[in-house]
Amino acid sequence: MKDTGMIRSLDSLGRIVVPVEIRMTRNIEIGDPIEFFILNDEIIVLRKYTSTECTFCRSLDHVTYYKDQFICNTCLKELGDPSRIPEEAEPLQEANGESSDPARSGRRTRTEEMSQRLEKAMADHPYANQKALAEVLGISQARVSQLKRKISPSGK
Ligand SMILES: [Zn+2]
């Protein structure tokens, strides 16, 4: 254990100030929760508390620890397989004309990829209705309908 050489007095309410040097080097911000440990029944150790909530959505369910971060199953899936993002995350206006904003190009790629998968599914199952196609692709019927309009805008 390293002696920092820093000494602080308790104030009248029992509070101590964590020296700014320690806060800066330990990456502790004002308002961060601090955990207390007792070492060998006499030494008090302070540690920045790391919550086990998901880094991205703050969910506490099905959280996995990966490279110093906690990530929930849902966010993990989104990261690993962008084409299967839960449908409620898809904006509804997507089918009505693409935005030329470069920031949206990632989403456009996913739409194109899903369109291609739909085209293939339609070729494989020429008599499948939208419900069946939706099940094959793991998306909603509304999404199939959107994509179909995109593939053949005039409608067949
Ligand atoms: Zn999450």
More confident residue, 107 or 111: 111
How many Å lie between the centroid of ligand 1 and the Cα of residue 53? 8
Q: Yes or no: say if 95 and 146 are a contact pair by the CB < 8 Å rule.
A: yes
> Which residues form the domain of 29?
1-49
Distance set, CA 67 to CA 55, 70, 71, 153 (Å):
12, 8, 10, 45
Report if residue 79 sits inside a domain: no
Q: Which residues surround ligand 1, an ion (CB under 5 A)?
A: 54, 56-57, 59, 72, 75
Domain of 25, CATH number, reads 2.10.260.10
Domains held by the chain: number: 2
The residue written with tokens 């099940």 in the block is 135
Report if residue 75 sits inside a domain: no
How many Å lie between the centroid of ligand 1 and the Cα of residue 58? 6
pLDDT of res. 101 = 55
How many CB atoms are located within 10 Å of the residue 143 CB? Answer: 21
How many Å lie between the centroid of ligand 1 and the Cα of residue 93? 25
How many Å lie between the centroid of ligand 1 and the Cα of residue 139? 21
What's the whole-number average pLDDT of the chain?
80
Report if residue 98 sits inside a domain: no
Q: Which of 28, 49, 70 is at the close of a domain? A: 49
Tell me which residue of 91, 79, 105 sits closest to 143, measured CA to CA: 91
Report if residue 33 sits inside a domain: yes
How many Å lie between the centroid of ligand 1 and the Cα of residue 105? 23
pLDDT of res. 106 = 58
Cα gap 113→155, rounded to integer Å: 20
Cα gap 83→109, rounded to integer Å: 9
Report if residue 64 sits inside a domain: no
Report if residue 85 sits inside a domain: no
Q: Yes or no: say if 147 and 118 are a contact pair by the CB < 8 Å rule.
A: yes
Report if residue 24 sits inside a domain: yes
Q: Which of 31, 49, 67 is at the close of a domain? A: 49
Tell me: pLDDT of 148 over 50: yes
Q: For the whole model, what pTM was predicted?
A: 0.36
pLDDT of res. 8 = 93
Report if residue 94 sits inside a domain: no
pLDDT in tens, 41-89: 999 999 888 778 888 888 888 888 888 788 888 888 888 876 655 655 5
Phi, psi (rounded to 5 degrees) for 152: -130, 85
Distance set, CA 136 to CA 56, 85, 129, 132, 150 (Å):
29, 16, 11, 6, 19
